[in-house]
A = this chain, B = another copy of it.
Amino acid sequence: MLSFESDYIEGAHPLILDALVKSNMEALSGYGADRFTKSAKTKIAEACSCPDAQIAFITGGTQTNQIVIDTMLRQFEGVAAASTGHVSVHEAGAIEYTGRKVLTLPSHNGKMDAAELDKYISDFYSDGNCEHMVFPGMAYISYPTEYGTLYSKKELTALSEVCRKYKIPLYMDGARLGYGLMSRECDLTLSDIARLCDVFYIGGTKVGALCGEAVVFTKNNMPAHFEHLIKKHGALLAKGRLNAIQFDTLFTDNLYFTLGKNAIDRAEELKSVFIQKGYKFFIDSPTNQQFVILENKKLKQLAENVKFSFWEKYDDSHTVVRFATSWATTSEKISELEKLL
């Protein structure tokens, strides 16, 4: 069955599997004390133009968000996020489970507004009662957002300035970072992100790896004994090679960006197909997630041959659904879809 259900429906890019196979019988120490971990970190730091970047590999996205937020906040702080942010809604309370409050700000097509963040923090400190409230101690953004949208360099710079003004870290969830960076609307480089954010993660799971996210601390600000803290959160892999080899491959010969570009190119094709067929979009997304408004009968009929994700009810007779492309999507699949529309 044709599937655009998500960007994690296939396994890993073949070069990653090759690297796993090739290195398989090499004896390596556990817990990250292996040569691939070292090599992958060096390559990522270079790609970020941030030679002093401190990098750690964690297996999944929710886990990464949980660990970064929990270990960077001070005890009286919570994390500010757009109300639609992944940490606000879709992580099964993993952030609160570690004792941290998510402070929600308005979402503008998935994005947080720098001026609103500034006002939120400024108002917080003006409130005589602020000692009884959770201090805003970090700003969390996702790039691309949960709605596929992107911050412009100007917007990200503004957020970065607000965070520096209040001396709190700006954290970017880059679960789909590759798809953001290769978007035709993107005016940011990985180096810009490393410069403007205090910590971010480069998503592997959704961009061609079997699993794995690379957390990058850009300001010599990795929490002390971070490996211990990863283990305390239950997340330290014995075979650190698994994540390391994957990222080592992704950051060899620009594979990460090549994979990102494929998803974007296919998304543009998919968009054209829907437009030509007269469909409307719920939101104008420049990345690999496309949100289409389907008439309910059409939805039912289409669902017999194609997998996609339910997003939300639009009105009584229409529904918003998501079609996702990925590193693995082919033009042939887009053509197959076209025939079904």
Contact residues, A14-37 vs B (CB, 8 A): 14, 17, 20-21, 23-30
| A284 proximal to B (CB < 8 A) | no
SS class, residues of chain A in contact with chain B:
loop
- Whole-angstrom CA separation of A307 from B11 in the bound complex: 34
| A303 proximal to B (CB < 8 A) | no
Chain B residue numbers with a CB within 8 Å of A5 are 27, 29-30
Chain B residue numbers with a CB within 8 Å of A12 are 20, 24
The interface-forming segment of A62-70, A106-114, A179-187, A188-196 is: A62-70
| A270 proximal to B (CB < 8 A) | no
Given that A92-B133, A94-B234 are contacting pairs, would A8 and B25 also be in contact in the complex, using a CB cutoff of 8 Å?
no
The interface-forming segment of A48-56, A165-173, A205-213, A247-255 is: A205-213
> In the assembled complex, how far is the CB of residue A119 from the closest CB belonging to chain B, in whole angstroms?
12
- Whole-angstrom CA separation of A314 from B141 in the bound complex: 31
The interface-forming segment of A149-157, A237-245, A289-297 is: A237-245
Q: Would you give 7 A-B contacts (Cβ < 8 Å), ordered by A? A: A11-B24, A25-B328, A27-B307, A76-B225, A93-B232, A94-B234, A211-B238
Listed in ascending order, the chain A residues whose CB lies under 8 Å from chain B are: 1, 3, 5-6, 8-12, 14, 17, 20-21, 23-30, 59-63, 66-67, 70-71, 74-76, 78, 89-94, 96-101, 128-129, 131-135, 205-206, 210-211, 223-225, 227-229, 231-239, 241-242, 307, 310, 328
Known: A75-B229, A94-B231, A131-B225. 18 other contacts (CB 8 A): A10-B26, A11-B26, A11-B241, A12-B24, A60-B235, A62-B234, A63-B234, A75-B223, A76-B224, A76-B225, A76-B228, A91-B132, A92-B228, A92-B231, A92-B232, A93-B99, A210-B242, A211-B237
